[in-house]
Amino acid sequence: MAFTIALAQLHAQVGDIDGNVTRIRTAWQEAAAAGADLVVTTELALTGYPPEDLLLKPEFVAANLAAVDRLAASGPPGCTLLLGYVGAGDGQATDEVHWDVALATRDLTNSVAVLRDGEVVATYDKLRLPNYGVFDEARYFTPRDAPCVVDVAGVAVGVTVCEDLWTASGPVQAAVAAGAEVVASLNASPYHRGKRADREAWVRHHARRGQVPVLYCNVVGGQDEVVFDGDSMVADAQGAVIARGRQFSPDLILVELATGPAATARPAADWQEEPRLDAVGEVWHALRRGTRDYCLRNGFARAIVALSGGIDSAVVAALAADALGGDRLVTLALPSPYSSPGSVTDAAALAAAIGSEHHVLDISGPIAAVGEMLGALVVTGFDRADGQQPGVAYENLQSRLRGLAVMALSNETGAIVLTTGNKSEYAVGYATLYGDMSGGFAPIKDVPKLLVYELARWRNRTGEVIPQETITKAPSAELRPGQLDQDSLPSYEVLDQLVTGYVEQDKGIAGLVADGHDEQVVRRVVQLIDRAEYKRRQAAPGPKITARAFGRDRRVPITSGWRG
């Protein structure tokens, strides 16, 4: 039997129930007009994902339930919708093993409503509740171990949700055992590098094992520290992926299925797949989507970036221009007596290339004034008659004066300050609290230093935006004469490997040494990473693009006696 399905890859927003209703209804109507028998939405499409402690508000849950009824009553006739929503159960957990898993006293479920012809004809409650990385589902939801298979135009469709797919057997196979000829999976799967290969492997596995087509629909958008990339897919009963959704953009993917012993699947006649992004390009688009959604959904139409003339601020400014538009960006060069002339001219060249409003504010006077105020309390200036050499306090003073300037402009204009630190620097504390860490969002917070350079080169492929001198010169904070990053840090080739091993892979000192790194360097870097946790707790949020980001993805104590 042949029938047509549509994957509604939505740009849902957390908490915007009315807006999400409109997005869902529009996609449902468009799919029905194109002849779809079934429309698959995304996980918790009504509430947005993750709703977090909004789920503890009874009014929020009630509004979500009322929206289910509104959608059911207003949907196009003859077309079935699989709708992700928050269910309010009957107070009975699946079994005694799960009794203490959920925090909420109310029995909430991560659910799917099957809507057709004005009614809710069936529901499914997610069984596998992830509670690792950025996920906290066991804090809110109760699992259910009951498959859902519903008739859609004579085809038995099994319903699952996200993590249900990420296991060799489990809910997908339970749906097949219950008679499903097609399995739909509603997802809110955050992006990180390499994630697509993992998703596709699980989709292929279940399609081949169950000998059924698998419909994988994923949400799009930035939500605080996570980015959802869409990239939905349909696999036929042999496990071949025959259609995909756009990356980082909403989409409606139409596919024609034939079920039974000769089950096949093919894209609808008018569907055309867009070229896939390469490994660096998808990171750029993830950062762009995360930055755009964070700014606009929080009411910031304009942004401010302090340009040092270095690679990090240049990449952030180019990202911001792509995300918001260069005409909505203000860039500032804030030279000190230790800034090289090239840094100022490179900043100006970048500003001209992206079309930002650009200002140069020399901080030499404020540095001298603050030095005079501090007197003998802090050693300032490198040309002192007494020969004393200033330390890190004087370097940080310069950074904090820059932070003061950008935050003053933010207060005056209402624009958001985008900070410019990368993951390598945040890891070892090579960033100044209340200085260059000042701001509302950190676009490259999870981007290792070497990847920052790759992003710059990728962005320049279609025409130079980031000056070549910015890419080729040795990295320096320029807070003292002749300063280079490598004066106080290992090479970034080494540092990035150590950060990946220690932060993302949980390797200890012995494991990193076994990888071939010098033990003295390892111990020093590990100590720097551990000691900088208090700084990172005070940092602005930024989009996750690696397997484990700082923040909610990695939760370690600030105060700890562990040293290995």
What CATH code is carried by the domain that includes residue 96? 3.60.110.10
Domain extent at residue 408: 281-485
Q: Average of pLDDT values for 311-327? A: 98
**Is residue 294 domain-shared with residue 266, that is, in the same domain?**
no
Q: State percent of the chain over pLDDT 70.
A: 95
pLDDT at 93: 47
Token pair belonging to 180 = 């499903």
**Rounded Cα gap, residues 494 and 522, in angstroms:** 10
Domain assignment of residue 509, yes or no: no
**Rounded Cα gap, residues 494 and 499, in angstroms:** 9
Q: Average of pLDDT values for 409-420? A: 97
pLDDT at 258 over 70: yes
pLDDT at 346: 95
**Is residue 251 domain-shared with residue 318, that is, in the same domain?**
no
Q: Average of pLDDT values for 481-485? A: 79
In angstroms and rounded to an integer, the radius of gyration of the C-alpha atoms of the chain is 26
Q: Average of pLDDT values for 479-491? A: 82
Domain assignment of residue 297, yes or no: yes
pLDDT at 268: 75
- Tell me which residue of 186, 257, 241 sits closest to 216, measured CA to CA: 186
Token pair 């596998």: residue:
128
Q: Average of pLDDT values for 496-522? A: 96
Domain assignment of residue 114, yes or no: yes
pLDDT at 383: 79
Among 204, 236, 271, which residue terminates a domain?
Answer: 271
Domain assignment of residue 320, yes or no: yes
Q: Which helix (DSSP H) or strand (DSSP E) does residue 86 occupy?
A: strand 80-88
pLDDT at 1: 63
Domain assignment of residue 562, yes or no: no
Confidence of residue 327 (pLDDT cuts 50, 70, 90): very high
Hey, which residues are catalytic here? 43, 126, 162
Whether residue 443 is preceded by a cis peptide bond, meaning omega within 30 degrees of 0, is no
Give the total number of structural domains in the chain: 2
**Is residue 256 domain-shared with residue 285, that is, in the same domain?**
no
Domain assignment of residue 545, yes or no: no
Among 485, 512, 527, which residue terminates a domain?
Answer: 485
Among 217, 247, 271, which residue terminates a domain?
Answer: 271
Token pair belonging to 123 = 């529901």
Range with the lowest mean pLDDT among 184-193, 321-330, 433-442, 474-483?
A: 474-483
Q: Average of pLDDT values for 151-167? A: 96
**Rounded Cα gap, residues 563 and 318, in angstroms:** 39
Q: What secondary structure letter does DSSP report for 230? A: B
Confidence of residue 505 (pLDDT cuts 50, 70, 90): very high
Confidence of residue 94 (pLDDT cuts 50, 70, 90): very low
Q: Provide the whole-model pTM.
A: 0.94
pLDDT at 480 over 80: no
**Rounded Cα gap, residues 409 and 388, in angstroms:** 35
pLDDT at 67: 97
**Is residue 157 domain-shared with residue 299, that is, in the same domain?**
no
pLDDT at 263: 63
pLDDT at 102: 47
Domain assignment of residue 393, yes or no: yes
Q: Average of pLDDT values for 356-370? A: 96
pLDDT at 28 over 70: yes
Domain assignment of residue 206, yes or no: yes
434 or 388: whose pLDDT is higher?
434
Q: Average of pLDDT values for 107-122? A: 96
- Residue-wise pLDDT for 298-312, tens only, equals 999 999 999 999 999
**Is residue 315 domain-shared with residue 418, that is, in the same domain?**
yes
**Is residue 208 domain-shared with residue 266, that is, in the same domain?**
yes
